Amino acid sequence: MKRAPITHRLAMALVAAVLTASACSAQPSADDGTFSVWDPYPQFDKNSAWVKVIERCGARAGVTITRQAYDTTDLTNKVLLAAQQNTAPNVLVVDNPVVSTLAEAGVLKSNEDSGLDASAAAPNLVAAARSAGRTYGVPIGANTLALYYNKAVLAAAHVDPASIKDWATLDEALGKVTAAGKKGMTFSAIGTEEGTFQFLPWFWGAGAELTDLSTTDATTALELWKSWLDKKYAPNSVINNTQTTSWQEFATGDYAFAENGTWQLQNARKAGFEYGVIPIPSRTGGVAPAPTGGEFVTVPSQGDSDAEAKAAKIAACLTNPDTVLATDTALTYVSAVPSVQQKQVSAAPDFQVWVDAVTSARGRTSDGLGTRYPRISEQLWKAVQAALTGSKSPKDALSDAQTAASKGK
């Protein structure tokens, strides 16, 4: 069946929400010098470093900022509703996989039209905001995945983390840890985007591509995860683990490794045991491409060129190489700008592993996938679930996933 255009599909899906759209009341008017900024950081209150950065950028542009924060999923829905009602925010900070959806729906101005410049940011990060040959917004920073390890657990099993260079040496380390009476690896394989996010480094690290989920390389990656459950290197709880519950397992001190992200650094420092971090290895060696997390600063369409130009100044301030270090520090992000990344490493040398991971990372909507990515991702996490629960072999699960993902192209 032919799928309706994305704008119509999203509008229909959100029709019920329109009826109760009190949260999307009219935004402050740019005419009175007040500009609205929406972001996905409800954890930061008005006294936070992040809000101070926004206010400074507003002051530089000569406007007063009114800021609203929503959970990531809620933010996407509210922006779509607001755009339909012509009350979109002046500046929008949005999760990178959503950018192509909003661009295709006509919500965002392209950089070519707004005057935003993403040239200082790393190309692999900017790729997530490319749609139909245009770029929408500038990455505010990035986070991604790596392997945290418990130094005491590895030492007791006589495992040198520096020896882990590929899948074979990682598998050998997991065998030694479990033989020593400890637990091997915890991660999130839940049937949501989090599960896909955590599987992608192994999927891409095997040489697989999201354009075809059924290849031999893809099967090899899923067979690796399944083998860890079969050999008790990973617990069955990974099937239902979120990235938060997976971290809670690692925080018990019983596990050698946890696949998790930059956002757990503060928790790692409070874990009560010494930890380290290594990149996720590719199958045959080197750093596996991990998916990029993090947001883009964008300029929604306002129908007012003067307001859009001023909004672009605010967005540029938040992402400019001269000022973005304060933004990334406030958000605990790896900077999207290579020169700023080096400043971060100079201040904290152990941050280098995260810079390396981000340098090798890939956007989930890159490679021209755009708005096709959510459908592909859903079939991929379903395949992971089917294989790990034993309802299908990895090969059959991925073959079925590719068939389902191909429908409606």
pLDDT value at residue 409: 54
Half-sphere exposure in the Cβ direction for 33 (13 Å, CA):
6
pLDDT value at residue 155: 98
Comparing CA positions, the residue from 261, 291, 289, 298 lying closest to residue 363 is: 291
Q: What is the pLDDT of residues 329-340, one digit of tens each?
A: 888 899 999 999
| 299 and 273 within one domain | no
| 250 and 125 within one domain | no
Q: How many CB atoms lie within 10 A of CB 179?
A: 9
CA angle 353–200–111, rounded 5-degree value = 80
Query: What is the domain-level CATH number for residue 221?
Result: 3.40.190.10
pLDDT value at residue 22: 30
| 166 and 133 within one domain | no
Question: With contact defined as beta carbons under 8 Å apart, do 142 and 334 qualify?
Answer: yes
Residue 346 within any structural domain of the chain? yes
Average per-residue pLDDT for the chain: 89
| 275 and 184 within one domain | yes
Question: With contact defined as beta carbons under 8 Å apart, do 288 and 210 qualify?
Answer: no
| 170 and 224 within one domain | yes
Average pLDDT (238-266) is: 94
Give the pair of three-digit tokens for residue 36.
């609205």
Residue 4 within any structural domain of the chain? no
| Distance (Å, whole) CA 311 – CA 313 | 5
Residue 77 within any structural domain of the chain? yes
Per-residue pLDDT at 4 exceeds 60: no
Residue 3 within any structural domain of the chain? no
| 313 and 180 within one domain | no
Residue 2 within any structural domain of the chain? no
Residue 208 — pLDDT band, cuts 50, 70, 90?
very high
**Cα four-point dihedral sign 143, 147, 151, 152:** positive
Residue 368 — pLDDT band, cuts 50, 70, 90?
confident
Residue whose pair of structure tokens reads 């909507």 in the numeric block: 365
List, edge to edge, every strand of the sheet that includes 34-39.
64-69, 34-39, 91-95, 295-298, 138-139
**Residue 263: is it exposed, middle or buried by C-beta count within 10 angstroms (0-12/13-18/19+)?**
middle
Q: Tell me the pairing of strands 255-261 and 183-186.
A: parallel
| 91 and 105 within one domain | yes
Per-residue pLDDT at 157 exceeds 70: yes
Per-residue pLDDT at 237 exceeds 50: yes
| pTM, rounded to two decimals | 0.80
Strand partners, 291: 362
Residue 180 within any structural domain of the chain? yes
Residue 328 phi, psi (nearest 5): -65, -35
| Largest pairwise CA distance in the chain | 68
Give the pair of three-digit tokens for residue 242.
């979120």
| 302 and 180 within one domain | no
Residue 15 within any structural domain of the chain? no
| 307 and 158 within one domain | no
Residue 56 — pLDDT band, cuts 50, 70, 90?
very high
Average pLDDT (135-140) is: 96
Question: With contact defined as beta carbons under 8 Å apart, do 196 and 369 qualify?
Answer: no
| 123 and 267 within one domain | no
| Distance (Å, whole) CA 168 – CA 172 | 6
Q: Dihedral angle at the C-alpha atoms of 175, 180, 182, 184, nearest 10 degrees?
A: -10
**SS3 per-residue string spanning the chain:** CCCCCHHHHHHHHCHHHHHCHHHHCCCCCHHHCEEEEEECCCCCCCCCHHHHHHHHHHHHCCCEEEEEECCHHHHHHHHHHHHHCCCCCCEEEEEHHHHHHHHHCCCECCHHHHCCCCCCCCHHHHHHHEECCEECCEECCEECEEEEEEHHHHHHCCCCHHHCCCHHHHHHHHHHHHHCCCEEEECCCCCCHHHHHHHHHHHHHCCCECCECCCHHHHHHHHHHHHHHHCCCCCHHHHCCCHHHHHHHHCCCCEEEEEEEHHHHHHHHCCCCCEEEECCECCCCCECCCECECEEEECECCCCHHHHHHHHHHHHHHHCCCCHHHHHHHHCCECCCHHHHHHHHHHCHHHHHHHHHHHCCECCCCCCCHHHHHHHHHHHHHHHHHHHHCCCCHHHHHHHHHHHHHCCC
| 389 and 252 within one domain | yes
| Distance (Å, whole) CA 160 – CA 154 | 7
Residue 365 — pLDDT band, cuts 50, 70, 90?
confident
pLDDT value at residue 393: 98
**Residue 92: which domain range?**
27-142+292-359
Q: What is the pLDDT of residues 162-191, one digit of tens each?
A: 999 999 999 999 999 999 999 999 999 999
Residue 71 — pLDDT band, cuts 50, 70, 90?
confident
Residue 31 — pLDDT band, cuts 50, 70, 90?
low
Question: With contact defined as beta carbons under 8 Å apart, do 18 and 48 qualify?
Answer: no
| 127 and 175 within one domain | no
| Distance (Å, whole) CA 82 – CA 92 | 12
Start-to-end CA distance of the chain, whole Å, equals 9
What's the domain count of the chain? Answer: 2
Per-residue pLDDT at 80 exceeds 90: yes
pLDDT value at residue 34: 92
Q: How many CB atoms lie within 10 A of CB 182?
A: 18
Residue 80 within any structural domain of the chain? yes
Q: What is the pLDDT of residues 344-363, one digit of tens each?
A: 999 988 899 999 999 989 98
